[in-house]
Amino acid sequence: MKLGAAQTIQSLAIMASYTRGGAGGSVAFVLQTTDGTNWYDMTKSAEATPVAGAQLQDVTQRRSWLYQAEGTDAELFCFVVWIVVNDGPIANMGLRMTAKEVGNTGAPGALVARFAVET
């Protein structure tokens, strides 16, 4: 991908703690960014396999993550995503993470997360 003059790729680390509320607890979450009016889900694309004589069609879908707890104690995890930023540092973007219990919905767990951006 060729970046425009004002574009950069910056990393965003998400550090989180999840404590399940009951056996089988897991949490799903989505990262979103805003243009100041609307919130947009991050996406992931899967490249098509080239076939002679056929046009390629990549698949792009909204991206979510699933964390499944292994035990009853708070579990710490971290992951990094890379984002193309159009104007200025990533810290100036509106970012949020929406989450919901998907494992044991009768006993929801607790998720605490924070963002760290490259400077």
Q: Is 0.85 topped by the overall pTM? A: no
Q: What pLDDT shows up at residue 4?
A: 52
pLDDT attached to residue 93: 65
What pLDDT does residue 8 have? 67
Q: How far apart are CA 27 and CA 25, in angstroms?
A: 7
Q: Tokens 């699933």 map to which residue?
A: 66
Residue 3 has a pLDDT of 46
- How confident is the model over 64-89, as pLDDT tens digits? 889 999 999 999 999 888 776 666 55
Domain extent listing, the chain: 8-42+61-117
Exposure string of 86-111, with b = 16+ CB inside 10 Å and e = fewer, is: eeeebeebebeeebebbbbeeebbeb
* Tokens coding 62: 């909204």
pLDDT by 10-residue block (mean), the chain, 119 residues: 57 90 92 81 80 82 88 92 66 78 94 82
Q: Any residues with CB less than 8 A from the CB of 4 and at least 6 apart, and which?
A: 86
How far apart are the C-alpha atoms of 31 and 100, rounded to whole Å? Answer: 12
